[in-house]
Chain A
Amino acid sequence: AQTVTQSQPEMSVQEAETVTLSCTYDTSESNYYLFWYKQPPSRQMILVIRQEAYKQQNATENRFSVNFQKAAKSFSLKISDSQLGDTAMYFCAFMKRMYSGGGADGLTFGKGTHLIIQP
């Protein structure tokens, strides 16, 4: 079974600052995906960024980038030029890569980090 740990229950930064959210995971799988999801107060879970474990290059999406350290099983999210609209719960999640005929475990989520962007 996989576990995902987010050690920062809450973080608060000023608008326009850069913030890094931490995530570590534990798995015996070699092929998997890692995700960061954002859940604002409206509660809709929104995909922020996705990383495939076999890719060494860190994923980036505009102001969002990750630092994926496979050997250390670490997957942190960096938000540059933070904006008020970035205020939300952020969840790190793991999913093993599915193969034809294989069973699914779904996404394994961490407990989340509540990120507050101050004006």
Chain B
Amino acid sequence: ETGVTQSPTHLIKTRGQQVTLRCSSQSGHNTVSWYQQALGQGPQFIFQYYREEENGRGNFPPRFSGLQFPNYSSELNVNALELDDSALYLCASSFSGASLFGPGTRLLVL
């Protein structure tokens, strides 16, 4: 079992910039989800990809977008960063209803 990995672990950006976060899924998992966790809060669902297609989205604007690749790795892209985008971003790969989370990327927007 390889687990879920994410890169980078920490990132600092300035308001208005764009950022790409990366996730490598657990082997055999064809579904990947992304979550935003603000400090002291539970994670909030951003979107989910299944077989390279987005098949679910939470209450996040279109400047949050993603990709899933044939090897099931994934990217989260955020355009026009805002201060409120500062958070821990978690990737989760899943199969048959159980999600396995990565260690997250801590994003700070100044």
Contacts and interface: CB of A to CB of B under 8 A. Distances in A.
A50 B88 CA distance: 24
B94 to A, nearest CB: 9
B1 to A, nearest CB: 13
B54 to A, nearest CB: 9
Interface residues of A, number: 27
B99 A47 contact: yes
Secondary structure class of chain B's binding surface, majority of residues? strand
Contacts, number: 66
Interface in B59-106: 88, 90, 92, 97-104
Given A107-B45, A109-B43, A46 B103 contact: no
A7 to B, nearest CB: 14
A97 interface: yes
A43 B87 CA distance: 12
B104 A43 contact: yes
30 contacts: A35-B99, A43-B88, A43-B104, A44-B101, A44-B102, A44-B103, A44-B104, A45-B43, A45-B90, A45-B92, A45-B101, A47-B100, A50-B97, A50-B98, A95-B97, A95-B99, A97-B97, A98-B97, A104-B48, A105-B58, A106-B35, A106-B45, A106-B58, A107-B35, A107-B92, A109-B44, A110-B42, A111-B42, A112-B41, A112-B42
